[in-house]
Amino acid sequence: MSKIQKIKGVADLFPPESNKFNFMERTAREVFSRYGFKNVRIPIMEKTELFARSIGEETDVVQKEMYTFPDRKGRSLTLRPEATAGLMRAYIENKLYAAESVSKLFTFGPMFRYERPQKGRMRQFHQLDVEVIGAKDAQTDAELLLMLYSFLRELGLKKLAFEINSLGCRECRPKHRQALKEFFESINKDELCEDCRRRVDSNPLRVLDCKQERCRELTKDAPKITDYLCEDCHNSFEEIKRILTEMNVEFVHNPRLVRGLDYYVGLTFEVTSSDIGAQTAVAGGGRYDGLIKQLGGPDLPAIGFALGMERLALLLQDLDNDGIDFYVAVLDEKGSTPALMLAQELRAAGLCGEAGYTKGSMKSRLRAANKAKASWCLMLGTDELEAGEVTVKNLESGEQERMKSSAVCEYLIANR
Ligand code: HAM
């Protein structure tokens, strides 16, 4: 029979790789809850319309990258390409706004985008996603960036670049759009790539985000959105920069940072690393006031970000934390049940370990204990069984000590 293999762009994760994902999730829970965020779980599938209406019809994500399919009754469903749209749908549907004026939520799990797979770019990838709904001030924005910064430091990642920009609001955006249109009239549009030629009319801001060398060259003198900000947007952006500077967060203002999703207004940001290949963004986010209203909810401001776990994993050291505390070695055939009982007692006390039930020679049992990366081997031989004792061997130092079975638990905990 031929073997069935996984589909392109997805991954099976085993230790030590899966340890990194556990570590990221554990750290996220710890750090985000210190800032008052609550963990929520939402579906992986949503109605296609949700993504079209929030991410934007004209974006690459909606046009080219969604896994969209009809269900058995012909309704169009999509595997989520990101978490923000689904979280906002859930926020509105569950009327969280009626219970609290500000909601701070985070979620994590798999996302799906039909992209060309390469290092750090998968078709099924994982995000840690964070959203603040109901607050609109520079302090909220700066604090969210500080939390992102602290989280990355807690993971041990220090060599990352923070880029920020402001995309303005409904008041300043049209003036910039007009200036951009005039600018595009002044260059030879035919030299732009096919996507950008289309975007010049549909979404001129996105042309600034094109990664093609020729497009970047042609648009290097394009008007910057930050030169067109209204007073409120300008003051808010200046205040965010002031707080970050005061808190010693290093950042650069990148006026070309426009992001690939249409819902952003005001502050946008990305965290990048030059150590993970062509896909440099490990996190991205920004403000998206207006989206909740657009999805049929109240007119509430919101801001958030998502971290790409596969890209973070490329930066993390291998975490070999799959060692265990004890391995019970059975050297006499009467030892299997006592071994099981001892292992149960130790696990109940919070120690982790295994009992090898098959009887064997001392040499083969010690080999098994070392293979399991145990700190101690607990030996049950004929003498020990008769005396109700255990020989406890420290596998690192080689020292061993014989003691009553009832004393083992306390001994291991004291010497852990
Ligand atoms: P995004 O920039 O599209 O934003 O994705 C966030 C992060 O997800 C990226 O910086 C990257 O690390 C990771 N990522 C995206 N696509 C892939 C892929 N194909 N393979 C591996 N990693 C990937 C959002 O998704 C927004 N929803 C973020 C947000 C939350 N904005 C406001 N709230």
CA–CA dist 288, 70 (Å, integer): 29
Please report whether residue 187 resides in a domain.
Answer: no
CA distances to 17, 51, 98, 112 from 298, in Å: 42, 18, 10, 28
Kindly state the average pLDDT of the residues 91-100: 98
Q: What three-state secondary structure class fits 253?
A: strand
407 and 280 together in one domain: no
* Rounded CA Rg of the chain: 28
237 and 382 together in one domain: no
Strands of 254-333 (E only): list them.
267-272, 281-287, 302-308, 324-330
For residue range 362-409, what is the model confidence (pLDDT) as tens digits? 899 999 999 999 999 999 999 999 999 999 999 999 999 999 999 999
Identify the DSSP state of 289. Answer: T
Ligand 1 atom 33: residue of nearest CA? 304
How many other CB atoms sit within 10 Å of the CB of residue 125?
A: 21
337 and 294 together in one domain: no
Asked whether residue 270 is marked as a ligand-binding residue, the answer is no
Q: Which of 55, 82, 152, 268 to mutate to test the pocket of ligand 1 (most atoms within 8 A of CB)?
A: 82
For residue range 333-344, what is the model confidence (pLDDT) as tens digits? 899 999 999 999
352 and 397 together in one domain: yes
239 and 387 together in one domain: no
Q: Cα(284) to centroid of ligand 1, in Å?
A: 6
Please report whether residue 249 resides in a domain.
Answer: yes
Please report whether residue 218 resides in a domain.
Answer: no
370 and 300 together in one domain: no
Residue 228, phi then psi, degrees to nearest 5: -115, 10
**Residue 321: per-residue pLDDT:** 67
For residue range 24-62, what is the model confidence (pLDDT) as tens digits? 999 999 999 999 999 999 999 999 999 999 999 888 899
Q: Which amino acid is at 317?
A: Q
Q: Which of 311, 312, 315 to mutate to test the pocket of ligand 1 (most atoms within 8 A of CB)?
A: 311
DSSP string for 100-117: -SSEEEEEEEEEE-----
246 and 329 together in one domain: no
- Reading the block at residue 249, the tokens are 């967060």
Q: Cα(15) to centroid of ligand 1, in Å?
A: 24
Ligand 1 atom 17: residue of nearest CA? 121
52 and 148 together in one domain: yes
Q: Which residues line ligand 1 (CB under 6 A)?
A: 82-84, 113, 115, 120-122, 125, 127, 129, 131, 260-261, 281-286, 288, 304-306, 308, 310-311
- Reading the block at residue 68, the tokens are 């969209």
How many other CB atoms sit within 10 Å of the CB of residue 170?
A: 10
Nearest partner of 110 among 89, 90, 129, judged by Cα: 129
CATH number at residue 398: 3.40.50.800
> Domain limits at 255?
17-172+229-315
Q: Which amino acid is at 166?
A: S
Kindly state the average pLDDT of the residues 86-90: 98
- Ligand 1 atom at shortest distance from the alpha carbon of 61: 3
Please report whether residue 206 resides in a domain.
Answer: no
Question: Count of domains in the chain?
Answer: 2
65 and 158 together in one domain: yes
pTM for the whole structure: 0.90
- Ligand 1 atom at shortest distance from the alpha carbon of 285: 31
237 and 341 together in one domain: no
DSSP string for 387-401: HTEEEEEETTT--EE
158 and 136 together in one domain: yes
Asked whether residue 411 is marked as a ligand-binding residue, the answer is no
| Least confident span in 46-50, 53-57, 201-205, 265-269 | 201-205
Ligand 1 atom 8: residue of nearest CA? 308
Q: Which helix (H) or strand (E) holds 162?
A: strand 161-166
